Every structure is written in structure tokens, then in C-alpha cells.
Structure 1
Amino acid sequence: MSDSPAAASPYEVLGVSPSASDDELRRAYRRLLRHTHPDVGGDAAAFHTVQIAWERVGTPADRADYDRRRYPDSAAEPERPAYASGAGRGQATQAGPRARMYGHPGGEARQRYLELLREWAGRGTSIDDPYAPALIRSAPREIRHWLAKALAEESTAQLVSALGIGFTAWHDVVAGATQGKVDHVVLGPAGLFAVLSEDWGGPVQLRRGELVGDALDPDDRPIEDVEGAVRALAKSLRVRFTAVLIVLPDEALDAPLTVTGRGRRPTVITLPRSRLIGVLRSGLPGIDRGSFEKVFELRSRLQDGIRFSSD
């Protein structure tokens, strides 16, 4: 079970409230065991998730320890995660010149998180610190997801910034009037990449050309949505993207998942964050690296045409 803000808590996995009695917790666990056990046709991954959840809160002692860490009573936090704006980007990993960077990575996602958090807390409720771990952990998962997404975008931006002066990146880019945004546009010698940074708080897999997983809503179509946004952006800028990269935490998938491009649709690759830099530096097999002149020409066109969601 991931420590991402978007990850399901053991109580959410078991389908009970954090205030449920020990008997209610035990009944929920047993019911889920019957439904998820592989011997009765259940899903092995779901069965494993239920087991992990029970290990965390299954006994009074384990539950008390978990609640102290996740739902602390006092204002004192033993370890405060770096959730506040800008803190989630981590430390620089490379000295020297950085990639050219424009826009505000994670800005729109953070704004959405704050809006939903205030709406959930209720009108007139004062929120002294919207990034207090206890508050984040008590919020519904769909709200926590927006904070997790902001952190994911900031993490990607930090990695891209260390690529060096041969690269340029634009963040929180408006794709079109009705097509939302593209998290990152990265230009370098290996090509022009559109990047989606995500963290749904759980593993995903590819099924019929779309990403699915317990952490995603059945109606979610992340690949379809990002393809639409990238097509709209490519048309408005009159450019062709080398590929679309969907970047996830390493624990969300074991290996890259590829949806081959068709017609004007670029190839879409879902990859662990640890592999992002390799793709941006070296490109994709079978695709020629661009020339310096082409990169320079594209940079000028993108710089003139790109608009940001914060504008």
C-alpha cells in the first residue's frame, strides 16, 4: 500500500469508517476475504491488498499504532511530509546549468486540491494549514488525488530541470478551449514529448489500449484524455509530438506499457518515473534524434505559441 496522498487507507480498502468498531472491521475483512480469495474466483491482487490492510489495522495494537501516525490528535507531527507548495520537488541532483523551464508545474492541480478541500470542509470553516498531514489523511480520496498529482508534476519538473541546457520544458500548458491541459511539454535532441504526470495511489495495467486499476474510476480514460489534449495542442502549435509519456511512481507498474501510435496519433508510453530521464535523453527505438537546427526552430515556435493554465 503506497504512502501517496492518493493511496487508499486500510479503512477505505476494507470499506469501513475509521471510527468503525473492531467487530465491524473484522466482519468487513472476512466478507472481503470471501469475495477476493483466488480459490473462489476472486482477484489475487485485491486479495493481497485486503491482507495488507488487515495487517495494518487488524489488531487493537496495530490499529492504535496506525491511527496515531495517520490521524494524530495533537498539532505536533513527528514527520511532516513536504506537501506545501514547491516543497515536493526534492533536491537538485545535478550541479551546473539547468534546462530552460517555463510555467508552474502542479499549479492547477494544487488549486483544484485547495478548492475541493475547502468545499469538503464546509463554508465558514477555517483551514489554518491545508497541508497538515492529519487533514490530508482525513479528506476523501478524490481530493487527496489532486495533491498527489501536484506532487507528481513537481517531481517530474525537478527531473527535467536537471537535464541541462539542451532541453526546454513548459509546464501546465493549455491544450485548447475544451481540451484541458498538458502537464509538461519537453523539447530536446531526442524529440518533442508531451508528458502526463500522475499518481493514482495504486498500480495500473493496460487493457484494450487504456489504463485500468483499482485506484481509477471505471469511467476514467487517461490515455484517451491525454491523446485528445495532445492532438489539440499539436494542431494549435502546428507541431508533431514524438511521443506521449505518462509518468507514474515506480511502484505503480513494473515495466513500461506502450500503445503504438496510429495515423496522426503518437505513441503513448506509460513508464515508471525512474525511466523518464533515459527516454527523454535517448529517445525511442526506431525514431531518429532531431538535429540542433530543428530543436532551435521548434523552441521558437513553441515559445511563441504556448499558453499556460495560470494565464
Structure 2
Amino acid sequence: MFDSPLSASAYEVLGVAVDVTEEELRKAFRTRLRQTHPDTGGDAAVFVQVQRAWELVGTPEARAAYDRGRSGRPTAPEAQFSADWSTPRTRQDTRPRARSSGHPGGWRRERYLDLMREWVGRGTPLEDPYDPQLVRSAPREIRRLLADALAEEATARTIADLGMGFSVWHDVAAAGRGGTLDDKLDHIVLGPSGLYGVLSEDFGGPVGFRRGEITGPAVPGAPVSDLLVRMRTVARAAGVRFSGAIVVLPDDDLAQPITELGKVRGMPVVVAARSALSTVLRRGVTGARDIGGNEVFDIRTRLDQSVRFV
């Protein structure tokens, strides 16, 4: 959870300063456990975050390693805060992969780099735009672009590993309400279990659910509703029917790996942790319409002919 550009540090999760004493750190941990424990009305996802934060800084050795990583000087495998957010390299893998089109996370990476250069200053060389210290000092709207790009890339890797029975289109143009360039559908996934619109997100903290929507202090707008609008736009253009919608979030931001939201505006919706995405795509979403036989090839052809990429 602490490797996201949006995530709070272990100290912020525990509610203490970085120079707090060991005794004060221990007292803060116990207080946060009581405050967040589900049995006393706390948020289960936040409770897990508190436990993870303590694992990172709860002993002098772990804390020293964590602090070295925070300072940008990771020394060895022990440094747990270092991050590699650069563009992922192409893996040399001979296994059959899912059929893929488009560039996952590409639009947001480009936008991130443009805004990072503006923020640093045009006259200042930007030696490493992915340096963790530089990233974490940037405004949240810039960090959010990188976080979402990383989320999309992680989803793309998971789908690719599902094999040749699946097809996926990334960064699909879906001019919706405002008709702006960033009105896009992160992924369209076609497989034996159905045709799904997929949103890859990282809000930087635990989320909740209310009336078929994702809620939380860092959740902007109505992500599920926006996803459904974009899916309808693509469906009309391609002449296809989606089986369901999937929102993929970091594991630590969810109290349970799979949450079925039921039908939202007539569309089955599920929120899945990244580690559970393969399971959801293989077995399908509850209430989703199965696709089989020649229909798979027909849908694939229609999407290939109509999909535009941002």
C-alpha cells in the first residue's frame, strides 16, 4: 500500500511525526488499532493499513530501513519504501498471452510527464521524473495521474496472463458527458465469461460503498456512474452489449477482495482487488450475460472495427 504515489506514509497512517520516540510510536499504534478495529465500528481496510504501517516502522531495525528508503537512499533488499515507477519493460515470456490492443496507462503517463515538467519549470532539467522524493513532493493531481497509470499497467499485466482465450483493448476513447480527451475506458475485456468494461483506479486510501457507488474521502465524483456512461458510449458505437462492469483497486484499499455491488442502472458491477481480478474474469460477474460460440468472434470483430484509442 505504501508504494503508491498517493499513499500516506506509515507515520501518517499512525498519526505521528517522523521523529516520534519509540514509546510514542507504540502508544499511537495501540490507539489507532482501537480506533479502527471493525468490532468497535472502525473501518476494516483502515485497520489493515494500521497493521501494515506498524510492520514497517514497529521495530528499530524496520524503522531504520524504512527511513532510509524514504530519504531516497535504499541500501539493499531491506529498504521497503523504494519505488520503481518508470515505464515497465517488455517481459520476455513465451507463454500464450491475451490478445491485446492499445497502450495501457499511456495517455496518463504522457499527461503526467507534461504536468511534471510544467511544475518543475521549463528551464529546469527533469533528470528523473519518477524519483520517489520528487513524485511525493508534487501536487496531488500530478501524483494521481501516475498512480492511475500504474494501476492500468498492473491490470494489463494480469489480463495478459489469462491467456489467448481473452482479448483486451486498452485506453479506449469514450467521449461521454464532457467530450474531453480523458473521457476514456481504461480496458475492455472479452473472454469466455463475458464482455466487461474495466476501470483501474488508485484513490490513495481505503474506500467504502453506498448505493452502488464507491465512496471515500479521496474518491472524486462518482466513478461507477462515470464508468457506466463510458461503457454505454462504446457499446452504442460498436453495436455490442456489455455483460458487466469491473472496478479494480489496490488490495489494501478494500476490506475484502471481491465486492458485488449488484446491478447499477441495469448493469452488474463488481469491485475487485488487483489480486482477485483473474478470479473475477475467469468465473464472471454475478448476473452477467454469458458469451459463447460465434458471438465471441462477432463481438471481437465489431470492437476491432469501431474502437478508437486516446
TM-score range, shorter chain: 0.7 to 0.9
**Do residues 190 (structure 1) and 193 (structure 2) align?**
yes
Per the TM alignment, residue 165 of structure 1 is displaced from its structure 2 partner at its CA by: 2.0
Q: What residue identity is the alignment partner of 2:120?
A: A
Question: Kindly tell me: are residues 163 and 125 of structure 1, through their superposed partners in 2, closer, same or farther at Cα, counting changes over 3 Å?
Answer: same
SS in 1 for 2:263: coil
Does the CA contact (< 8 Å) of 1:193 and 1:244 recur in 2?
A: yes
Does the Cα contact within 8 Å between 2:98 and 2:165 map onto a contact in 1?
Answer: yes
Contact 1:97–1:165 (CA under 8 A) maintained in structure 2: yes
| Alpha-carbon displacement from aligned partner over 1:204-245 (angstroms, at most 9, x marks no partner) | 12123221224x14x432112212211222122221110110
Query: Does the CA-based 8 Å contact 1:71-1:138 persist in structure 2?
Result: no
Distance 1:109 1:195 in 2: 16
Q: Matched residues in 2 for 1:221 and 1:251: separation?
A: 21
Asked if structure 2 preserves the Cα contact closer than 8 Å seen for 1:70 and 1:137, the reply is no
Unaligned runs of 5+ in 1: none
Counterparts in 2 of 1:301 and 1:66: CA distance versus 1, 3 Å? same
* CA-CA distance at 1:158 after TM superposition: 1.2
In structure 2, what is the Cα distance between the partners aligned to 1:4 and 1:48? 16
- Structure 1 residue matching 2:86: 3-state secondary structure: coil
Instruction: Show CA shifts across 1:176-224 (max 9, x none).
Output: 263500000011121111111112232212123221224x14x432112
Contact 1:90/1:158 (<8 A) preserved? no
- Is the 1:22–1:60 contact (alpha carbons within 8 Å) kept by the matching residues of 2? no
Q: Which runs of 5+ in 2 are unaligned?
A: none
What corresponds to 1:278 in structure 2? 279
Cα separation, partners in 2 of 1:59 and 1:139, compared to 1, 3 Å: farther
TM-score (norm 1): 0.77
Give 1:261 shift.
Answer: 2.3
TM-score scaled by length of structure 2: 0.77
Q: Does 1:110 align with 2:112?
A: no
Q: Is contact 2:105–2:153 with CA below 8 Å preserved after alignment?
A: yes
Displacement of 1:248 in angstroms is 1.3
Residues 2 and 10 of structure 2 are in contact (CA less than 8 Å); yes or no, is this contact kept in structure 1? no
In 2, Cα distance between the equivalents of 1:189 and 1:260? 21
Between the aligned residues of both structures, percent identity stands at 47
In the comparison of the two structures, how many residue pairs are matched? 292
Residues 71 and 133 of structure 2 are in contact (CA less than 8 Å); yes or no, is this contact kept in structure 1? yes
CA separation in 2, counterparts of 1:281 and 1:58?
A: 39
Q: Does 1:205 align with 2:208?
A: yes
Cα distance in 2 for partners of 1:64, 1:136 equals 22
With over 3 angstroms needed to count, the CA separation of the structure-2 counterparts of 1:262 and 1:252, relative to structure 1, is closer
Structure 2 matches for 1:1-311, cutoff 5 A? Answer: 2-10=2-10, 37=35, 66-72=66-72, 81-87=83-89, 95-176=94-175, 178=178, 180-214=183-217, 216-217=218-219, 219-253=220-254, 254-262=256-264, 265-309=266-310
Separation of aligned partners in 2, 1:281 and 1:160: 10
Deviation at 1:101, TM superposition (A): 0.6
**For the residues of structure 2 that align with 1:236 and 1:54, how far apart are their CA atoms?**
50
